[in-house]
Amino acid sequence: MQELADLIKIAVKETFNADIEPELTRPEEQFGDFSTNVALQLAAEQDKKPRDIAQQLVSQLKSPMLAKIEVAGPGFINFWLSDEALAKLLAAEPTKSLKGQEVVVEYSDPNPFKVLHVGHLYTSVVGDAIAKVLESAGAKVHRVNFGGDVGLHVAKTMWAILSSLGGELPEKLAQVEKGQRAQWLAERYVQGNNAYEKTKATKTEIEQLNVRLYQIHEQGDKASPLAQIYWTTRSWSYEYFDEFYGRIGSHFEKYYPESETAGPGLKAVKANIGKVFEESDGAIVFKGEVHNMHTRVFINSQGLPTYETKDVGLILKKWEDYHFDKSIVITGNEIYEYMQVVLKAVEQFAPELVQKTTHITHGLVKLAGGMKMSSRLGNIIKAEDVLDAAMAANKEINQQENADIALGAVKYAFLKSRIGADIIFDPAESVSLQGNSGPYLQYAYVRARSILQKAEVQDMKIDKFEEGERSLARKISEYPEVIEKAVSELMPHHIATYLYELAQTFNRFYENNRVVGNSREALRLKLVESYANTLKNGLKLLNIPVLERM
């Protein structure tokens, strides 16, 4: 609450001639509405006991918005707002701290010619939430996606495609049914990868095919039989991606295929040979040991760009397209060290781009009792399998077939945990209407709307709360601060945790306080409306479907 922070700041200046930005926290309800440790911050500078400083400040802190001030513990100051001041916070909006900023959020990043697995689903859910949270703070957010449409994995798949077709025969692609295309491509990748590892001759064939696929892009080839097969099957992947993203409510402004970032990356790497990069056994490398990292190859001995160089090109392309104030990249934990090397290399010739870049990593998602995924081996947990599992659990447990409930269950199950650790996804737990779940919050909103439909909400000034009313109002008032914390930390789990706590607070209120037909109906309906709106806004930021009935 900025007004209270300013009041403390002025009191500190007038009493101790010190400049300080006071920190306000939310203590447990019995200890007030806000608390500050400003006295502890001043103790060393003033050479006084924190409690003595706190007592002096309390004597100076006078305002109609404060009903009570109290010194606690070693020198904390606890504040109770007046009911009128608390009521004003119900209409408070999160600050637009990022207004005017251009922010690029890159996430999901599936490779064409492979299926989407649960990791792609997780990054899509988290990326959507982070993008929406940043937009709520006033940023102009550009959602982008990056994927490998060239490289060895594509060559492996194309080799198996040619084997299945009996040669470079694009007309035979018509034999693959539309609904089976994505799975067919995934099976070809597994086939090609197994063949690559089996014999030296096949490995050589695939590596030669890899060179030809790069040449298709370099030459702008659309007509040769190989090019026709390549472009057709690549388009199958993007159609499949778009269909799935539509299913989960995601959208992207731009796809960056590696074929488009390889050129700028190669140009940058070659321009910095001898300054940032150096030759080693016919390849071009970045010597990471100088920076306590490991050495990585950026151009291989065949003259082809590696993933590292394509990522360099991606950073440069994003800057060229958006001139961003912030660039956020969301990936799995397993490529943390890899990205650190890439960013350190770019830092040597474009430090400002690295300073504007934040790399967020997350753990694995497994089904309860699950296993680690591997698209190389083919034993992956497909993204659609997770949604289907939630649908099946919802049908069995809640006797409902509702895609929005299943989607809300999956998204909330992912978002309620802090980004970084592994997640165990339990379909049955995710659809529960009793616990900390997406459907529980969706139902909480439906329940609030049903109360509001029984009577008309009136415009009124709230200046006096009873105990249960005040607890609910206090919890609702925390919403802007929670959003600001989620923005500053890029952690949407703060919103999920808050919404669950808010719903629990409302349930306690509703169990003990009749709304419709009570003498305090007008005030309580106003609180219910504020609660419902807050719940709705929070669910929307998490990109969880908001339902009017269940």
**pLDDT tens column, 43-52:** 888 888 889 8
Mean pLDDT of the chain: 93
Angle at 336 between CA 333 and CA 342, to 5 degrees: 150
pTM for the full predicted model = 0.92
Q: What is the DSSP letter of 433?
A: S
User: Which residues are registered as beta bridge partners of 103?
Assistant: 141, 326
Averaged over 135-153, what is the pLDDT? 96
pLDDT of residue 531: 97
Among 451, 407, 413, 419, smallest CA distance to 435 is for: 413
Cβ contacts of residue 306 below 8 Å, gap of 6+?
A: 296, 297, 298, 299, 300
Give the pLDDT confidence score for residue 46 in this predicted structure: 82
Specify whether the CB–CB gap between 474 and 529 falls below 8 A: no
Quick check: 414 and 365 in contact, CB under 8 A? yes
CB 493 within 8 A of CB 482: no
CATH architecture assignment, domain 433-541: Orthogonal Bundle (1.10)
Residue 376 has pLDDT above 60, yes or no: no
Give the model confidence (pLDDT) of 17-30 as tens digits: 888 888 999 999 99
Q: Are the C-beta atoms of residues 115 and 382 closer than 8 Å to each other?
A: yes
At residue 458, the pLDDT reads 85
The pLDDT score that the predictor gives to residue 457 is 87
**Residue 1 scores a pLDDT above 90:** no
pLDDT, position 379 = 63
**What is the tens place of the pLDDT at every residue in 99-140?**
999 999 999 999 999 989 999 999 999 999 999 999 999 999
What are the pLDDT digits (tens) for 444-494? 999 999 999 998 888 877 778 999 999 999 999 999 999 999 999 999 999
Written as one letter, the residue type at 134 is L
Predicted local distance difference test score (pLDDT) of residue 13: 82
Whether the predicted pLDDT of 377 surpasses 80: no
User: DSSP string spanning 167-185?
Assistant: SS-GGGGGGS-GGGHHHHH
Architecture of domain 2-81: 2-Layer Sandwich (3.30)
Q: What is the pLDDT of residue 370?
A: 55
Which comes out higher in pLDDT, residue 435 or 159? 159
C-alpha R_g of the chain: 28
Q: Is 390 within 8 Å of 428 (Cβ atoms)?
A: no
Q: Which helix (H) or strand (E) holds 25?
A: strand 24-25
Give the list of residues 6+ apart from residue 244 with CB closer than 8 angstroms, or none: 116, 383, 384
CA distance 169 to 538: 52
Position 200 scores a pLDDT of: 94
| Other C-beta atoms lying within 10 Å of the C-beta of residue 530 | 21
Q: How far is it, in rounded angstroms, from Cα 96 to Cα 334?
A: 34
**Confidence at 373, pLDDT banded by 50, 70, 90:** very low
Architecture, CATH, for domain 96-147+255-381: 3-Layer(aba) Sandwich (3.40)
pLDDT tens digits, 238-253: 999 999 999 999 999 9
Q: With a cut of 90, say whether residue 34 has pLDDT above it.
A: yes
Pairwise CA distance, residues 534 & 476, whole Å: 7
Q: What is the pLDDT of residues 308-339, one digit of tens each?
A: 999 999 999 999 999 999 999 999 999 999 99
Q: Which residue do the tokens 């990585």 mark?
A: 296
Q: Are 339 and 310 in contact (CB under 8 A)?
A: no
User: Tokens 């109360």 label which residue?
Assistant: 451
Calpha distance 144→259 (Å, rounded): 15
Unique residue bearing structure tokens 């970032």: 261
Spatial separation of the C-alpha atoms in residues 141 and 125, rounded to whole Å: 16
- Section 398-410 average pLDDT: 95
pLDDT band at 380 (very low <50, low <70, confident <90, very high): confident
Domain ranges of the chain: 2-81, 96-147+255-381, 148-252, 433-541
Are 470 and 509 in contact, with CB atoms under 8 Å apart? no
